[in-house]
Amino acid sequence: MLVTEQERLREFVEAVVAHHGASRDQLIPILLAVQDEYGWISDFASQHIADQLAIHASEVYGVATFYHFINTRPKGRFVIRLSADMPSLMNGAEVIARQLERDLGIAFGETTADGLFTLEWTSCIGMNDQAPAMLINQAVFSALTPERVRQILDTCRQQLRAHRPICSETKETYVDGLSYAAYQAESALSKALQRTPQEVAAELEASGLRGLGGAGFPTGAKWRLVAEAEGETKYVVCNADEGEPGTFKDRVTLERYAALMCEGMTLAAYVTGAREGIIYLRWEYGYLRPQLEALLTARREAGLLGCGIMGKAGFDFDIRIQMGAGAYVCGEETALLESLEGFRGEPRNRIPYPVDFGLHGQPTVVNNVETFATTCLIVDRGAEWFTAMGTERSKGFKLLSVSGDCAKPGVYEVPWGTTVAGLLERVGGGGAKAVQVGGYAGHLVPAALFERKIAYEEFGTSGSIIVYGPQRDLLVVAENYLKFFVAESCGQCTPCRDGNAILLEGMQRLRQGRCTTDQLEQLIELGKSMQVASLCGLGQSSPKILLDIAAHFKDEVMARPIAA
């Protein structure tokens, strides 16, 4: 008796659900597994997944259509996603785009007639220092040239015929002065186990370490609050969804120093009593998953994860990886928790906070890769070592991802309080017209303010630094930012959903020289209202580019001639 394609799909879905478990929080891993096998999520697959999880098919569809990298329509065997972030565009992404269109005979958004290739733009993939860059499925290719594009496409065809996967091809990222390189593995964990959990938390509080993902909440206080919170189960979640355009320092940490991240998560478990840890890994970094899984396996075998860690009875903790599926807003911790629970990544109303009501309603530590890695250095060397660096309100050091118009893009470790001018000198960014500090959600800093400090009290940052030389058209920059925010808004609140579209339209009028002074003032007022009324950081931050241009470059943009 012949087995129909639907019967095969049904059997595959049932096997995937059996492997992951018929739990709502496994919806996204199940969708990604089905997509890996079939290339997309059909209506039939959605319905059968819904049946297996005892939820409505509309819920599956709602989740699938929320995330950029879950396909609800067929695509080619090789989905090419060319990064459209500003560093990529500044380094020739448009030239690469035209080469791809010529070689494949299709436009962006189309699939070749033979079903092999689909061509799309995507937002930042964390390769800004090696721009232009693209993903082909989950393989990453950087430092692209037209000649390399042709070679890569030929390699895809050859690998398909040979039934072999394609492999990433990237350059080495330039790294300058990272303290992580000198750290002796497990030194912090062994010292922590000689102290009480309360003493470890107090050391972190004394250090003044604040969350290094952008929000800046005191790390030691967060861990202490989770330790003191009532809950049957506690969790430690690592936010490895580094989606802020221009940021790639967490990628480098994952590539080179992932053991510090895991050790930092284990320290958090010791302090809080958590038994389960989760690394929420952004989809664009999926090519790093095999080496991270190997690291976790090695740590279990070495007694650094699992039961009785380092011989301490009752200290039981393990870590698993869960993939994101492409949503910038999931960098916000409550949206990330929603995604981990199998829902659309929409931010939660606060209060309560995750320290009291986090994953599955239980007390949860959420920190990013850099924060967890840095806790190891503090516990190992002591709070005084850390507080000797930085400023009164910004203690310690920060990793910065530097790209754009500079001679030495890469990852730099700097003490908080470093001036923008000092950083530009270090990276070879002389003559810059402006510097974006903090990624698209940060501030566009003009040359007149380059003596200001990179610090929470002046220009805080999640780690992205984009340098813009004197030749750059800042309205092109602003339009790119606002297109990104329009695409990435979760749509949950009106100020962000509708406001960003209006700001984008206004920015396009500015570029055309068709925006009056009165209209610009109305856009400024809208931007200020969005900062107050938006539910989460996306809508609160997206107007900054307009407000900064209006504050520092108004004469330049208003003098633009009317476009023909």
Average pLDDT, the chain: 95
Residue 176 pairs in a beta bridge with: 412
- Tokens representing residue 107 in the block: 């436009």
How many residues are present in the chain? 564
What is the distance of C-alpha 180 from the center of its chain? 21
- Model pLDDT for residues 376-389, shown as the tens digit of each residue: 999 999 999 999 99
**Looking at the predicted structure, is the pLDDT value of residue 398 above 80?**
yes
What lies within 8 Å, CB to CB, of 535 at 6+ separation is 347, 349, 492, 493, 496
3-state secondary structure of 368: strand
Query: What's the pLDDT at 514?
Result: 87
d(CA 124, CA 285): 11
Based on its alpha-carbon atoms, the radius of gyration of the chain, rounded to whole angstroms, reads: 24
Q: What is the pLDDT of residues 428-480, one digit of tens each?
A: 999 999 999 999 999 999 999 999 999 999 998 889 999 999 999 999 999 99
Query: Is pLDDT at 94 greater than 70 in this prediction?
Result: yes
Average pLDDT over residues 121-137: 97
- % pLDDT > 70, the chain: 99
Q: φ and ψ at 400, to 5 degrees?
A: -120, 135
Over residues 336-350, the pLDDT tens digits come to 999 999 999 999 987
DSSP of 393-435: SSBSEEEEEEEESSSS-EEEEEETT-BHHHHHHHHT-TT-SEE
What tokens appear for 111 in the block? Answer: 């699939």
Q: What 3-state DSSP class applies to 78?
A: strand
Instruction: Give tens-digit pLDDT for 136-147.
Output: 999 999 999 999
Question: Distance (Å, rounded) from C-alpha 307 to C-alpha 7?
Answer: 41
Residue 183 and residue 432 in contact, taking contact as beta carbons nearer than 8 Å: no
Indicate the residue type of 500: N
C-alpha distance from residue 275 to each of 156, 286, 489 (Å): 43, 25, 34
Decide if pLDDT at 1 tops 60: no
Residue 233 above 90 pLDDT? yes
